[in-house]
Amino acid sequence: MADGTLKVGTITTSSGSGTITLGQSGETINIPSGATVSGAGAMTPAFEAYLSSDQSISDDTWTKVNIDSEVYDTNPSFASNKFTPGVAGKYFIYASVLIETTGGHEYNLGQTGLYKNGSLFRTNRLDPESASMIAANVPIQAVVTANDTDYFELYAYMDRTSGGTINIKTSTQSTYFGAYRIIGA
């Protein structure tokens, strides 16, 4: 068969359902650079956002982080501090929170928490042997499964050795929250 170009708008199965096969083992399927892939072939929904101003939190209390400034949001899927993908699938979620004590080396325990539907799903903790810390980022990452209504939120926690102010800091987007869909997972 001669080499050729087929111009068509939509490709469906001949029976209306089932499988469309492109190529076979050993061949290369090329979608040229510069083309846009959408739908199931795209890593969307995806978003990234960050804390735009410092946020005070209470000692020994899980507190939702006010992630209020979007870098981008494809569907959109992020609003009111919540990531609600709206498309069932698996997502890579990443975040980091910069927690700071003010006025002293009193950072006893810092934690970042990823909540799914209001419940703690995963934590990461920074727990120094001595309370000699002032500030540190606590990162967290997870691959999560979501249906079309599941939502995810970012929380932070600090235990301070004495009373005083605890801040979540915004310094150059150092407190951030992002996610993208994993294709085919």
Kindly indicate which of the ranges 52-60, 76-84, 98-106, 158-166 contains the residues binding another protein, using the contact rule CB under 8 A: 98-106
Spatial separation of the C-alpha atoms in residues 6 and 9, rounded to whole Å: 10
Q: Does 40 bind another protein (CB under 8 A)?
A: yes
Say how far apart CA 156 and CA 88 lie, in whole Å. Answer: 27
Distance CA 97, CA 43 (A): 24
Question: Can you tell me which of 78, 83, 91, 107 binds another protein, judged by CB under 8 A?
Answer: 107
Cα 59 to Cα 162: distance, rounded to the nearest angstrom: 9
Nearer to another protein, 24 or 119 (CB): 24
* Residue 157 to residue 138: CA distance in whole angstroms: 10
Under the criterion CB under 8 A, does residue 17 sit at the interface with another protein?
A: no
Contact call for residue 128 and another protein (CB under 8 A): yes
The token duo for 105 is 């080396």
Q: Is 6 in the site for another protein (CB under 8 A)?
A: yes
Part of the chain binding another protein (CB under 8 A), chosen from 44-52, 56-64, 111-119, 155-163: 44-52
Report, in Å, the least distance between residue 54 CB and another protein: 13
Q: How far is the CB of 89 from another protein (least distance, A)?
A: 9
How far apart are alpha carbons 54 and 169 in whole angstroms?
Answer: 5
CA distance 36 to 63: 39
State yes or no: residue 49 binds another protein (CB under 8 A): no
